[in-house]
Amino acid sequence: MSRRALVTGAAGFIGSNLCRKLLEEGWAVTGVDDLSGGHLEFVQDLKGLKMVVNDFVSDYILEEVESGSFDVVFHLAAIPRVSYSVEHPAETTLSNVGKTAKLMEACRGKADRFVFSSSSSVYGGADDLPTPASYLRDPKSPYAWQKSTIEDLLRMFGNLYDFDSVCLRYFNVFGPNQYGDSPYSTAISAWCHAVKHGTPLRKDGTGEQSRDMCYVDNVVDVNIRAANHEGTFRGEAFNVACGDRTSNNQILARFQEKFGDLNINQAPFRPGDVMHTQADISETERVFGYKPLVRFWDGLEKTFEWWGI
Protein backbone atom coordinates (compact mmCIF):
# COMPACT_ATOMS: atom_id res chain seq x y z
CA MET A 1 0.00 0.00 0.00
CA SER A 2 1.31 3.45 -0.93
CA ARG A 3 2.33 5.78 1.83
CA ARG A 4 0.05 8.81 2.01
CA ALA A 5 1.35 12.37 2.13
CA LEU A 6 -0.18 15.79 2.57
CA VAL A 7 1.97 18.59 1.13
CA THR A 8 1.00 22.12 2.12
CA GLY A 9 2.18 24.85 -0.23
CA ALA A 10 2.08 22.19 -2.95
CA ALA A 11 1.91 24.62 -5.87
CA GLY A 12 4.89 26.62 -4.64
CA PHE A 13 8.53 26.41 -5.62
CA ILE A 14 9.73 23.68 -3.27
CA GLY A 15 6.31 22.07 -2.73
CA SER A 16 5.75 21.38 -6.43
CA ASN A 17 9.18 19.78 -6.77
CA LEU A 18 8.49 17.67 -3.68
CA CYS A 19 5.10 16.51 -4.99
CA ARG A 20 6.68 15.44 -8.28
CA LYS A 21 9.34 13.33 -6.56
CA LEU A 22 6.92 11.77 -4.07
CA LEU A 23 4.65 10.68 -6.92
CA GLU A 24 7.64 9.25 -8.79
CA GLU A 25 8.47 7.19 -5.70
CA GLY A 26 4.94 5.79 -5.47
CA TRP A 27 3.42 7.92 -2.71
CA ALA A 28 -0.27 8.82 -2.70
CA VAL A 29 -0.08 12.62 -2.57
CA THR A 30 -2.63 15.26 -1.66
CA GLY A 31 -1.48 18.82 -2.17
CA VAL A 32 -3.08 21.96 -0.79
CA ASP A 33 -2.33 25.55 -1.76
CA ASP A 34 -4.37 28.75 -1.58
CA LEU A 35 -2.35 30.10 -4.54
CA SER A 36 -1.33 33.25 -2.67
CA GLY A 37 2.22 32.36 -3.71
CA GLY A 38 1.81 29.13 -5.65
CA HIS A 39 1.13 28.48 -9.34
CA LEU A 40 -1.11 25.70 -10.61
CA GLU A 41 1.01 25.35 -13.76
CA PHE A 42 3.75 23.85 -11.57
CA VAL A 43 1.57 20.85 -10.70
CA GLN A 44 -0.95 20.55 -13.53
CA ASP A 45 1.05 17.81 -15.26
CA LEU A 46 1.49 15.69 -12.12
CA LYS A 47 -0.56 12.56 -12.73
CA GLY A 48 -2.04 11.12 -9.57
CA LEU A 49 -1.78 14.32 -7.52
CA LYS A 50 -4.96 15.21 -5.65
CA MET A 51 -4.75 19.00 -5.66
CA VAL A 52 -6.91 21.06 -3.30
CA VAL A 53 -7.04 24.81 -3.89
CA ASN A 54 -7.78 26.06 -0.39
CA ASP A 55 -6.27 27.13 2.90
CA PHE A 56 -4.26 24.37 4.59
CA VAL A 57 -6.47 24.72 7.67
CA SER A 58 -9.75 24.67 5.73
CA ASP A 59 -12.44 22.46 7.22
CA TYR A 60 -11.94 19.91 4.44
CA ILE A 61 -8.18 19.54 4.99
CA LEU A 62 -8.49 19.39 8.78
CA GLU A 63 -11.21 16.74 8.52
CA GLU A 64 -9.00 14.68 6.20
CA VAL A 65 -6.08 14.97 8.62
CA GLU A 66 -8.22 14.10 11.65
CA SER A 67 -9.64 11.06 9.87
CA GLY A 68 -6.13 9.61 9.59
CA SER A 69 -5.85 10.05 5.82
CA PHE A 70 -2.12 10.87 5.86
CA ASP A 71 0.96 9.06 7.11
CA VAL A 72 3.24 12.09 6.72
CA VAL A 73 2.45 15.81 6.59
CA PHE A 74 5.03 17.97 4.82
CA HIS A 75 4.33 21.52 5.94
CA LEU A 76 5.84 24.02 3.52
CA ALA A 77 3.09 26.65 3.32
CA ALA A 78 3.85 30.06 4.83
CA ILE A 79 3.74 33.77 4.16
CA PRO A 80 7.46 33.88 3.34
CA ARG A 81 8.34 37.51 2.78
CA VAL A 82 10.65 38.86 5.49
CA SER A 83 9.87 42.46 4.58
CA TYR A 84 6.13 41.76 4.67
CA SER A 85 6.48 40.18 8.11
CA VAL A 86 8.26 43.32 9.33
CA GLU A 87 5.40 45.45 8.04
CA HIS A 88 2.65 43.07 9.21
CA PRO A 89 3.89 41.13 12.26
CA ALA A 90 0.42 40.35 13.64
CA GLU A 91 -1.02 39.09 10.36
CA THR A 92 1.96 36.91 9.54
CA THR A 93 2.14 35.51 13.08
CA LEU A 94 -1.53 34.54 12.97
CA SER A 95 -0.96 32.76 9.68
CA ASN A 96 2.51 31.28 10.08
CA VAL A 97 2.21 30.34 13.75
CA GLY A 98 -1.52 30.21 14.53
CA LYS A 99 -2.54 28.20 11.48
CA THR A 100 0.45 25.89 11.78
CA ALA A 101 -0.45 25.13 15.41
CA LYS A 102 -3.97 24.33 14.24
CA LEU A 103 -2.63 21.90 11.65
CA MET A 104 -0.31 20.34 14.21
CA GLU A 105 -3.20 19.84 16.60
CA ALA A 106 -5.18 18.05 13.89
CA CYS A 107 -2.18 15.80 13.19
CA ARG A 108 -1.83 14.78 16.84
CA GLY A 109 -2.32 11.02 17.04
CA LYS A 110 -3.35 10.87 13.37
CA ALA A 111 -0.18 11.32 11.29
CA ASP A 112 3.00 9.36 11.83
CA ARG A 113 5.33 12.30 11.21
CA PHE A 114 5.20 16.06 10.66
CA VAL A 115 8.05 17.39 8.49
CA PHE A 116 8.39 21.15 8.94
CA SER A 117 10.09 23.50 6.51
CA SER A 118 12.08 25.85 8.72
CA SER A 119 14.75 28.36 7.72
CA SER A 120 18.36 29.25 8.31
CA SER A 121 17.04 32.73 9.17
CA VAL A 122 16.47 31.44 12.71
CA TYR A 123 20.23 31.90 13.27
CA GLY A 124 20.00 35.63 12.59
CA GLY A 125 23.40 35.79 10.91
CA ALA A 126 25.73 33.37 12.64
CA ASP A 127 29.33 34.24 13.46
CA ASP A 128 30.40 30.61 13.35
CA LEU A 129 30.90 29.28 9.82
CA PRO A 130 30.02 26.60 8.95
CA THR A 131 27.06 26.93 11.32
CA PRO A 132 25.91 23.80 13.18
CA ALA A 133 22.24 23.15 13.92
CA SER A 134 23.11 23.48 17.61
CA TYR A 135 24.03 27.15 17.13
CA LEU A 136 22.04 29.59 19.25
CA ARG A 137 18.97 30.89 17.43
CA ASP A 138 18.68 34.67 17.23
CA PRO A 139 15.92 35.56 14.73
CA LYS A 140 16.03 39.14 13.42
CA SER A 141 12.61 39.41 11.75
CA PRO A 142 9.04 38.33 12.59
CA TYR A 143 9.29 35.71 9.83
CA ALA A 144 12.45 34.20 11.30
CA TRP A 145 10.94 34.33 14.80
CA GLN A 146 7.81 32.58 13.51
CA LYS A 147 9.89 29.72 12.12
CA SER A 148 11.80 29.51 15.39
CA THR A 149 8.56 29.53 17.38
CA ILE A 150 7.15 26.61 15.40
CA GLU A 151 10.35 24.69 16.14
CA ASP A 152 9.73 25.33 19.85
CA LEU A 153 6.11 24.24 19.52
CA LEU A 154 7.11 21.02 17.80
CA ARG A 155 9.52 20.13 20.59
CA MET A 156 6.78 20.94 23.10
CA PHE A 157 4.30 18.74 21.20
CA GLY A 158 6.87 15.96 21.30
CA ASN A 159 7.09 16.15 25.07
CA LEU A 160 3.37 16.62 25.69
CA TYR A 161 1.78 14.38 23.09
CA ASP A 162 4.47 11.98 21.84
CA PHE A 163 4.30 13.95 18.58
CA ASP A 164 6.82 12.86 15.94
CA SER A 165 8.24 15.80 13.98
CA VAL A 166 11.42 17.01 12.34
CA CYS A 167 12.51 20.56 11.41
CA LEU A 168 14.49 21.18 8.23
CA ARG A 169 16.35 24.49 8.14
CA TYR A 170 16.73 25.45 4.49
CA PHE A 171 19.57 27.69 3.43
CA ASN A 172 19.37 29.54 0.07
CA VAL A 173 17.29 27.27 -2.14
CA PHE A 174 17.18 27.81 -5.90
CA GLY A 175 16.17 25.97 -9.05
CA PRO A 176 13.22 25.20 -11.34
CA ASN A 177 9.79 26.61 -10.43
CA GLN A 178 11.29 29.59 -8.64
CA TYR A 179 10.21 32.76 -10.38
CA GLY A 180 12.35 35.88 -10.23
CA ASP A 181 9.59 37.86 -8.55
CA SER A 182 8.82 35.19 -5.94
CA PRO A 183 8.95 36.10 -2.23
CA TYR A 184 11.57 33.37 -1.89
CA SER A 185 13.56 34.52 -4.92
CA THR A 186 17.29 34.19 -4.69
CA ALA A 187 19.61 36.49 -6.58
CA ILE A 188 19.91 33.67 -9.10
CA SER A 189 16.22 33.58 -10.00
CA ALA A 190 16.02 37.38 -10.04
CA TRP A 191 19.02 37.54 -12.39
CA CYS A 192 17.63 34.77 -14.62
CA HIS A 193 14.36 36.71 -14.79
CA ALA A 194 16.29 39.83 -15.78
CA VAL A 195 18.26 38.04 -18.50
CA LYS A 196 15.07 36.43 -19.83
CA HIS A 197 13.26 39.76 -20.03
CA GLY A 198 16.18 42.00 -20.98
CA THR A 199 16.08 44.10 -17.81
CA PRO A 200 18.98 45.22 -15.59
CA LEU A 201 20.45 42.90 -12.98
CA ARG A 202 20.57 44.34 -9.47
CA LYS A 203 23.79 43.97 -7.50
CA ASP A 204 23.55 44.77 -3.80
CA GLY A 205 26.60 46.15 -2.01
CA THR A 206 30.03 44.90 -2.95
CA GLY A 207 28.86 41.53 -4.23
CA GLU A 208 31.24 39.80 -1.85
CA GLN A 209 28.27 38.45 0.10
CA SER A 210 28.36 34.67 -0.04
CA ARG A 211 25.66 32.08 0.48
CA ASP A 212 25.35 28.35 0.94
CA MET A 213 23.30 27.88 -2.23
CA CYS A 214 21.22 24.71 -2.26
CA TYR A 215 19.64 23.32 -5.43
CA VAL A 216 16.02 22.32 -4.88
CA ASP A 217 16.59 18.60 -5.58
CA ASN A 218 18.73 18.45 -2.44
CA VAL A 219 15.90 19.89 -0.34
CA VAL A 220 13.40 17.43 -1.80
CA ASP A 221 15.79 14.56 -1.06
CA VAL A 222 16.17 15.52 2.61
CA ASN A 223 12.40 15.89 3.02
CA ILE A 224 11.84 12.36 1.78
CA ARG A 225 14.74 10.98 3.81
CA ALA A 226 13.26 12.64 6.90
CA ALA A 227 9.84 11.14 6.16
CA ASN A 228 11.25 7.64 5.64
CA HIS A 229 13.63 7.58 8.60
CA GLU A 230 12.78 4.73 10.96
CA GLY A 231 13.74 6.53 14.14
CA THR A 232 11.64 8.83 16.28
CA PHE A 233 11.93 12.60 16.28
CA ARG A 234 10.81 15.19 18.80
CA GLY A 235 11.27 18.37 16.78
CA GLU A 236 15.01 18.05 16.18
CA ALA A 237 16.38 20.51 13.61
CA PHE A 238 18.71 19.78 10.70
CA ASN A 239 20.49 22.06 8.25
CA VAL A 240 19.66 21.57 4.59
CA ALA A 241 22.39 22.96 2.34
CA CYS A 242 25.60 21.94 0.60
CA GLY A 243 28.13 22.94 3.24
CA ASP A 244 29.97 25.44 1.07
CA ARG A 245 29.39 29.00 -0.14
CA THR A 246 29.58 31.05 -3.30
CA SER A 247 29.77 34.83 -3.61
CA ASN A 248 27.41 36.98 -5.66
CA ASN A 249 30.40 38.22 -7.64
CA GLN A 250 31.37 34.66 -8.57
CA ILE A 251 27.82 33.98 -9.74
CA LEU A 252 27.66 37.23 -11.69
CA ALA A 253 30.94 36.35 -13.40
CA ARG A 254 29.34 33.13 -14.68
CA PHE A 255 26.32 35.10 -15.91
CA GLN A 256 28.62 37.47 -17.78
CA GLU A 257 30.63 34.58 -19.21
CA LYS A 258 27.44 32.95 -20.50
CA PHE A 259 25.38 35.96 -21.57
CA GLY A 260 28.01 38.59 -22.39
CA ASP A 261 27.89 42.20 -21.27
CA LEU A 262 25.02 42.71 -18.84
CA ASN A 263 23.38 45.87 -17.59
CA ILE A 264 24.07 45.70 -13.86
CA ASN A 265 22.53 48.24 -11.53
CA GLN A 266 24.52 48.92 -8.37
CA ALA A 267 22.37 49.07 -5.25
CA PRO A 268 23.26 49.56 -1.57
CA PHE A 269 23.44 46.68 0.86
CA ARG A 270 19.96 45.58 1.88
CA PRO A 271 19.16 46.47 5.51
CA GLY A 272 19.61 43.47 7.77
CA ASP A 273 21.40 41.44 5.11
CA VAL A 274 24.15 39.18 6.43
CA MET A 275 27.48 38.87 4.66
CA HIS A 276 27.95 35.13 4.71
CA THR A 277 26.04 31.91 5.31
CA GLN A 278 27.43 28.40 5.34
CA ALA A 279 25.87 25.34 6.91
CA ASP A 280 27.43 22.55 8.88
CA ILE A 281 25.55 19.58 7.38
CA SER A 282 27.43 16.85 9.27
CA GLU A 283 24.43 15.97 11.46
CA THR A 284 22.13 15.79 8.43
CA GLU A 285 24.65 13.48 6.81
CA ARG A 286 25.00 11.33 9.92
CA VAL A 287 21.29 10.89 10.66
CA PHE A 288 19.83 10.71 7.15
CA GLY A 289 22.78 9.58 5.05
CA TYR A 290 22.41 12.80 3.09
CA LYS A 291 24.89 13.93 0.49
CA PRO A 292 24.04 16.83 -1.81
CA LEU A 293 22.77 15.35 -5.06
CA VAL A 294 23.48 18.50 -7.08
CA ARG A 295 26.33 20.87 -6.36
CA PHE A 296 26.01 24.58 -6.96
CA TRP A 297 27.54 25.03 -10.42
CA ASP A 298 25.70 22.05 -11.86
CA GLY A 299 22.48 23.34 -10.31
CA LEU A 300 23.06 26.74 -11.87
CA GLU A 301 23.30 25.20 -15.34
CA LYS A 302 20.11 23.21 -14.72
CA THR A 303 18.42 26.43 -13.66
CA PHE A 304 19.53 28.21 -16.85
CA GLU A 305 18.04 25.30 -18.81
CA TRP A 306 14.70 25.57 -16.98
CA TRP A 307 14.55 29.29 -17.71
CA GLY A 308 15.35 28.63 -21.36
CA ILE A 309 18.24 31.08 -21.40
Query: Could you tell me which of 34, 36, 8, 43 has the C-alpha nearest to residue 176?
Result: 43
Q: Rounded to an integer, what distance in angstroms lies between the CA atom of residue 139 and that of residue 148?
A: 7
Instruction: Report the alpha-carbon angle 173-278-294, nearest 5.
Output: 45
DSSP per-residue letters across the chain: ---EEEEETTTSHHHHHHHHHHHHTT-EEEEEE-SSS--GGGTTT-TT-EEEES-TTSHHHHHHHHTT--SEEEE------HHHHHH-HHHHHIIIIIIHHHHHHHHTTT-SEEEEEEEGGGGSS-SSSSBPTTSPP---SHHHHHHHHHHHHHHHHHHHH---EEEEEE-EEESTT--TTSTT--HHHHHHHHHHHT-PEEEETTS--EE-EEEHHHHHHHHHHHHH--S--EEEEEEES-S--EEHHHHHHHHHHHH-S--EEEEPPPTT--SB--B--HHHHHHH----SS-HHHHHHHHHHHHT-
Distance, in Å, from the CA atom of 84 to the CA atom of 76, rounded to the nearest integer, reads 18
Rg (CA), the chain: 19
179 is an active site residue: no
Tell me which of 123, 143, 215, 290 is the catalytic residue.
143
- Which residues are part of the catalytic machinery? 143
